[in-house]
Structure 1
Amino acid sequence: MSLEVILPQLPQPLMELQSEQNYEASPEDADKIPADDSHQQPPEPENEAPPMTIKQILAKLGGVFPMDAAVVEALPTGSTFVSIKHFGTSAWTITGRLIALDQDGSEKIYFLKVAYGETGRIMLNGEFESSKTIYSTMSNFIPEPFGFGKYKIQSPPTYFYLSEFIDMDVTKAPDPGNFCHKLAALHKLSKSPTGKFGFHTKTCDGDRAHVVDWQDSWAVFYRNLFLGVCELDIKRNGPWPEYERAIQQVAWKIIPRLLEPLQSDERQIKPCIIHGDLWEGNMGIKRDTREMTIFDAGSYFAHNEMELGHWRCEFTYVFRAEVYTWHYLKNYPAAEPVDEFEDRNRLYSLKGAINYAAGHPKSIMRKTAYNNMCYLCEKYAPIEGIDKYDPHIDPSITGAHIVPHVDDDLI
């Protein structure tokens, strides 16, 4: 069926959110970030307005959900579109609850996400491909993905992701034993199509794209991922010499020291599909079956322990409880060397913390990441010109946390 586009014209320049550049470093450019001018964003014209935020876009829309015929075409064959309305909130997208009728006339509810510009395309295509991979591995652990596409309207460039709608409770903490058993099962059952670490398309954590080029070496993959978020953070939050010095020491000394042993002396680690942004804000409990489900994935095939790095960050409160890590390791034991698990976890948390800081200017998590880098450098590769690790500002000791996507005040 046809559908008239419902998308009020917004002022130019529109929501062409800035597209991140990937950065894959090599030892020769270890002294600087980024490696060359090709990784720099072109300067914005002085008279160009900054990109609009989702809140500003919603205000311009005046309560009208931006619907398009392309979404109707993505519905299962024989479906009839009925209605769409806003549902939920998101820092980076517009989200809605869509009602359609199946071929037999029964009502079916879908969840719709809309985003703009090249960044919107990368975000929603990445979520679609991530969800397909997880759903094909464990169909009862993520809403069924139905489609990704571009709106027929040409301006602004608008993209959508359509999935199953699940009525869920997102306020209750999941049972640690059941949730971690299910998460470990996802990791164990998944299989990299190439046998390598990476993903076949870009995925995101928030509006920041991961560096996910396929790699045989987990240490190389993680270094590229780490340097990618560091480069973006420096672009968005500005230079900080001590921080940048610590970044280079972590990239070229700490990462090899902690991650190369995972694949040496006949040791092997399996590339596992991970959610990629797993904190309690991206999971819920189905109201009808009480089953746990995850959503908003930005996946890639990784060392399974990478998933737990987010649980150390201040934006995670529920999963930071030791009981969750304990239950997970009960189902999927730590890799050898086991006695370095805690330091690997601290190292993996850097990606989540720095990525968050890149998406939230002036976030305290930039300082947290720096302090964790100082800890790792002191322990494994001391270097002059950076600060001493301070346990008094380590949230894994103090218990401090933030309210994600709202304010970065300590709670």
Structure 2
Amino acid sequence: MDIDTLTLDPAIVAALPVQDQVVAISKHGDTRWSTGYKISIEDEEDDHEFFIKILDREEAKELAEGEFESMTLMHQLIPEAIVPPIAWGMFKTDNSKAFYLTYFRDLDKEHPPNDILIRLISKIHHKESPTGKFGFHVPTFYGCRKVDNTWCETWEEFFSRELRSSISFAQAVLQHNEELEGLAKTLFDLVVPRLLRPLETGGRSIKPQLVFGDLWDENVQVDHRTRAAALFDPCCFYGHFEFDFQCMTSDRYSLNHNFVNVYKEQMGVSEPAEEFDDRVALYALVKSEMKRLIKKYPDGLQGLEAKTTL
């Protein structure tokens, strides 16, 4: 998708904070579901740079709105690490396309020191749901997969719905995998209630807290000039804060179990604490971990009840 500097869509032009001469538009960043551009503008006093993400797919409107709402909330909580969102909208010349507009920031692919990142993430996690329920006020997207953020009462209900959506998405890509279908059924019957129900029963409870939703290496970088932390591309919802560690189970990422261990030491985890690693493995939804969890909890909740009576 190319953009001619002379034919920026009128909706984008109207959203730009500076209404002067556009001197350059260059491609910057690309995914399977969006295309990014750097827009350079000159006026009499200064040069201005903006970043725009163009979405040209069936759910373009919801993708743009979800990112704008997520980044707006993030900017309220950790403005030092979030580039302020400017606008989102639909093209006037083509109502199948949407855009998300913000300021341009030159970033380096490395994450900030653990102490700085933990401080930022803990600020996010301390934001409680305005409704007291799990969910979010608009749909958000994990990549190009839509997250159903309809409000619900329990984390088990919310996560089960999200997990079913994730598995359905994977099955569509795999053109239906029988092994995954069998694993999923056992996971829902035994492992999900066994690991998540104890969080909200037996005198325990968890508050729906804001999660970033897609916290991994590519979305946590540093400003090239200032070296300040920069977080972007969130998939926000109010859920169980431990969900944010689901991308950190592999050593191939620089944000991995080492960061998680430091977070645990400084901020703590939910009870039962001894099942933390298994909960994060469940959130990660890796087939090998699915098999391990099924083997470890073959009796589901009955196994927990038997353990309690010993």
Q: CA deviation at 1:339?
A: 0.2
Q: Give 1:120's aligned residue.
A: 60
Q: Give 1:166's aligned residue.
A: 105
List, as ranges, runs of 4+ consecutive aligned residues in structure 1 with deviation greater than 6 Å. Answer: none
**Is contact 1:176–1:323 with CA below 8 Å preserved after alignment?**
no
Aligned identity (percent) is 28
**Partner amino acid, structure 2, of 1:184:** S
Measured at CA, do residues 129 and 246 of structure 1 come closer, stay the same or move farther in structure 2, by a change above 3 Å?
same
Q: CA deviation at 1:207?
A: 1.0
Q: Does 1:343 align with 2:284?
A: no
- The 1-side partners of 2:230 and 2:201 are apart by 36
Q: CA deviation at 1:194?
A: 1.0
Q: CA deviation at 1:81?
A: 5.0
The match for 1:301 among 234, 238, 248 is 238
The match for 1:324 among 256, 259, 263 is 259
**Partner amino acid, structure 2, of 1:175:** P
Matched positions, count: 298
The match for 1:69 among 2, 6, 10 is 10
- The 2-side partners of 1:344 and 1:198 are apart by 19
**Is contact 2:140–2:146 with CA below 8 Å preserved after alignment?**
yes
Deviation digits for residues 24-60 of structure 1, max 9, x if unmatched? xxxxxxxxxxxxxxxxxxxxxxxxxxxxxxxxxx4xx
**1:147-158 pair list within 5 angstroms:** 147-154=87-94, 157-158=96-97
Q: Give 2:213's aligned residue.
A: 276
**Is contact 2:195–2:275 with CA below 8 Å preserved after alignment?**
yes
- The 1-side partners of 2:204 and 2:41 are apart by 51
3-state SS of 1:72 partner:
helix
The match for 2:222 among 281, 285, 296 is 285
Q: CA deviation at 1:250?
A: 1.2
Measured at CA, do residues 81 and 268 of structure 1 come closer, stay the same or move farther in structure 2, by a change above 3 Å?
farther
3-state SS of 1:129 partner:
helix
Q: Give 1:88's aligned residue.
A: 29
Q: Does 1:98 align with 2:45?
A: no
**Partner amino acid, structure 1, of 2:49:** I
Q: CA deviation at 1:211?
A: 2.0
TM-score (norm 2): 0.89
Q: CA deviation at 1:191?
A: 2.5
Q: CA deviation at 1:96?
A: 0.8
**1:197-346 pair list within 5 angstroms:** 197-313=134-250, 317-320=253-256, 322-346=257-281
Q: Does 1:143 align with 2:83?
A: yes
3-state SS of 1:118 partner:
coil
3-state SS of 2:198 partner:
helix
Unaligned runs of 5+ in 1: 1-57, 351-368, 384-411
- The 2-side partners of 1:263 and 1:147 are apart by 38
Measured at CA, do residues 329 and 71 of structure 1 come closer, stay the same or move farther in structure 2, by a change above 3 Å?
same
- The 2-side partners of 1:272 and 1:108 are apart by 36
3-state SS of 1:140 partner:
helix
3-state SS of 1:329 partner:
helix
Q: Does 1:184 align with 2:101?
A: no
**Partner amino acid, structure 2, of 1:285:** V
Q: Give 1:372's aligned residue.
A: 289
**Is contact 2:112–2:228 with CA below 8 Å preserved after alignment?**
no
- The 1-side partners of 2:292 and 2:265 are apart by 27
